[in-house]
Structure 1
């Protein structure tokens, strides 16, 4: 238990250091050595926890998801609830624009898909095959990508309704 606490503390230190450095300079100018120095950890500590800098941000997004997912357990799971959850999470996620500017949104979407794909499958009709589910999830990613590209102007709840409506239209055909 002590080891898990130490790992989590190290990850938090690394995340906070990275966020601090992102305020001071461009992402491409930040080295892992700088992150380690700012965090007060050894470079090998970073490599033990993260393969690349974007993984530091993905770590925090995954943490937000896990906390928010616990809140979802109290609600009846529905397509709209999952879409609202998805857009709120992305809206609140740190440095989402960084993922967009560095063409790493797909990595973010892949992380989301890994985390909540079983939830998505529970709200889709059981007659949906894996290919159709992949099509639907790719459509969600495309809509989300466009929303981010356009500056996330629409509120998350509106985007959730739009996405859920589009999915339900496809399913009713």
Structure 2
């Protein structure tokens, strides 16, 4: 196992322990010692790697989406609907974890992870940009990330009545909506 694999394994262990604790306790009531003991990591590891519990959630959310991206269909360019549909599939696979993150008000970590992945794919031409100039506007990735995460929250809460692929298509349609003149 590589040093990176070991670090990722420790991150996921402390993340999973935190999510488990958050299902029954408020974040402020979780002690670092109990969290580290549950995760099988040292307090030194915690203080060296994280500034807060929110930092654990942010780092693990990013690792989850990066690992998931590695398993996306190997095409030269993904379209937005496929990328976002795959994100919804990830959300579905991690439904309990994501609902816990929403429940404790930490959805910002999911937004940042989605935004980072989306920007990376756009910047490296792995994803086809929508057929409009919005993609190059200053706040576009924040808009898409916020929309996708908010939509995934409602979708997960409602029991995922539509398929993940349908949700990707829906977000892509919203992204490509034409501007209307008044």
Same fold (TM over 0.5): yes
Deviation, 1:144, is 3.2
Distance 1:139 1:4 in 2: 30
Aligned residues: 173
Distance 1:52 1:137 in 2: 23
1:84 match: 85
1:145 match: 150
Greater fraction helix: 1
Long gaps (5+) in structure 2 = none
**Matches of residues 29-44 of structure 1 in structure 2 within 5 Å?**
29-44=29-44
1:124 match: 129
Long gaps (5+) in structure 1 = none
Deviation string, structure 1 residues 1-36 (Cα, Å, up to 9, x no partner): 754344334324323432443455344421222101
Contact 2:18 2:35 in 1 (8 A): yes
Change (3 A) 1:163 1:172: farther
TM-score by length of 2: 0.74
Tell me, yes or no, if structure 1 residue 69 matches structure 2 residue 69: yes
Deviation, 1:161, is 1.1
Deviation, 1:103, is 2.7
Q: Which structure is higher in RCO with an 8 Å CA cutoff and minimum separation 6? A: 2
Supply the RMSD in Å over aligned alpha carbons.
3.2
Q: 1:169 aligns with which of 151, 155, 177?
A: 177
Distance 1:130 1:79 in 2: 11
